[in-house]
A = this chain, B = another copy of it.
Amino acid sequence: MPDYKAPLDDMKFVLFDVLEANRLADIPGYEDASEDIMRAILDEAAKLNESVLAPINASGDTEGCSYDPQTHAVKTPEGFKEAYQQFSQGGWTGLTADPEYGGQGLPHLLKLCLNEMVCSANFSIGMYPGLSHGAIDAVTQHANDELKQQYLPNLVSGQWSGTMCLTEPQCGTDLGLITTRANPNADGSYALTGTKIWITGGEQDLTENIIHLVLAKLPDAPDSTRGISLFLVPKILDDGSRNPVFCGGLEHKMGINGSSTCVMNFEGAKGWLVGEENKGLKCMFTMMNAARIMVGIQGLGAAEAAYQISLDFCRERLQSRSVSGPQNPNGKADPIIVHPDVRRMLAQQKAFIEGARAMAYWTGYQLDLSHKHPDPEERQRADDLVQIMTPLVKAHLTDEGYLSIDQALQSMGGSGFTKDWGVEQLQRDSRISRIYEGTNGIQALDLVGRKLLIRDGRLPGAFITAMRELLTTATNTSYIGQADRCLSAVEEALGWIGENAFTDPEQGAAAATPLLKLFSVTAMSVFWAVLDAKAAEGLAGNGSYSKTFYSGKQKAAAHFYRITMPLVSGYLEDIRAGKDTLMAFTDNEF
């Protein structure tokens, strides 16, 4: 298996040539994020991922996590504890956290880059700090000062980890069905009782304490999503005693075997309210965009790693001759990269990965602007874009990232199917990213049922305006027409939705998935026009990367439009086909 190398050139190209993310340092609160600092951080992140996390990825998959029913303890794979310590001691757990609690306060954009690398190098180990990050956000945004002072410093330093306890056996998507109860104690705390499932890092041996963020219902709570509150429940209490929250077992999964996925039993465990009573879901929603964008990045990171492996394989593997005559006459056969059909699998990967990176990082950049830009109008504009881009980044990058890995595996033939090369693990590990943090079908419903409607329905217009503005910066490309056609298709689709879905919500729900795909490939088509233009500029003389870097980018752009444009009319046709063929079935006709 070839070693993972972080794609630093492409990351820096997107950050500094495409997004001009050096501008972040002009924003109060991000003064430290100078271009030099960001470049240095990326280089350090690459070293950590390449030399510490990647080497224990395959062994972590083989060994998996194990559970001791006597002690309720969970053992993570060999080497995970040491690697986690290097990760936390390097300050990576607190990269974007509030400096008041020991964080570095750097832009989220940098964290996206870090997480892309982590998901390439070792998807499973990345889950532990990933969930801590969610807990840090929840506490920072919603807890009172006492809880913040008490829990944030150790969460930020990584000495403790965090979890998000939402799902129960009878409810995943529909959190209104939660039955975990929180009964008030005399001292202002609560006693939590219930069972949570699929809790990432619910138990592990990496940290001395685990801080659970738990959705539960107060005794008098309404029986709906408006009756859910958020609680902080530490594994170890202040006085060093064990809080009665125990792991009841581990899930056995298709992938991410190095990540412990726990059944958690709360047996009257002591917790404290975070945020207001019955407003727990709202607290979750404020973190949701960042979390979902991060899941999209998982799809990208896994795809990047698979691409590297398959590209290396296709350059090295000698098999058959080119149909146009020997290309490697001194060898017994040609490298399989000469074959058009193999190139099809490589070009598809490259066209996805590099476009997706631009799309995701741009969204991360908007996330940072939405948090800290001094101008409230700019913050609002950026937040509008984050709102509508979030389901696209989450679903498109994980769906297409999975297909990209599938192409990597296929290009390698039987080798791809064996554990020796690591691509099959990337496929298994990344499968979950299409499901958690809201399945990709839920993302599509979020787009059509929520994001098109909120804020007086201005988000789709904000999307189209932003995309057209981006296109005006792409002066050295011949693909403006293609991107325009995509944008027009989005407008046509929105017209159909406007005419049909508001009177019949099933029409919107039926159109949701193709609509999300149409929005996503449209965004990709805009970013590819921008990338193509920047590559032309780089080739024209000012670029800091190699000529093949730029010319490869241009060729990937050409292939992107070749494979994408036929999809656009197909999605539009599917949207217009409406709900009929779906709803016509009675349940027993399936």
Contact = CB atoms under 8 A, between A and B. Distances in A.
A319 B173 contact: yes
Contact of A435 (B417, B510, B548, B584): B417
A323 interface: yes
A19 interface: no
B344 A513 contact: yes
A583 interface: yes
A413 B332 CA distance: 48
A337 interface: yes
A172 interface: yes
B574 A563 contact: yes
B341 A251 contact: no
Interface stretch (A210-218, A456-464, A552-560): A552-560
A286 B6 CA distance: 48
A324 B344 CA distance: 43
Interface string A483-524: 000000000000000000000111011101100000000000
A258 to B, nearest CB: 15
Given A347-B585, A555-B584, 8 more contacts: A173-B320, A252-B420, A254-B417, A315-B587, A346-B585, A410-B441, A552-B589, A569-B569
Given A252-B418, A414-B198, A510-B340, A574 B586 contact: no
Given A252-B418, A439-B410, A581 B559 contact: yes
A585 B172 contact: no
Given A324-B505, A569-B569, A570-B566, A347 B441 contact: no
Nearest to A589: B552
Contacts of A171: 319
A350 B417 contact: no
A44 to B, nearest CB: 27
12 contacts: A173-B413, A177-B332, A252-B420, A253-B424, A255-B417, A322-B506, A337-B590, A340-B583, A341-B444, A343-B582, A566-B569, A566-B574
Given A254-B417, A410-B435, A510-B341, A589 B548 contact: yes
A202 to B, nearest CB: 14
Interface in A133-178: 167, 170-174, 177
A579 interface: yes
Interface string A338-356: 0111111111001000000
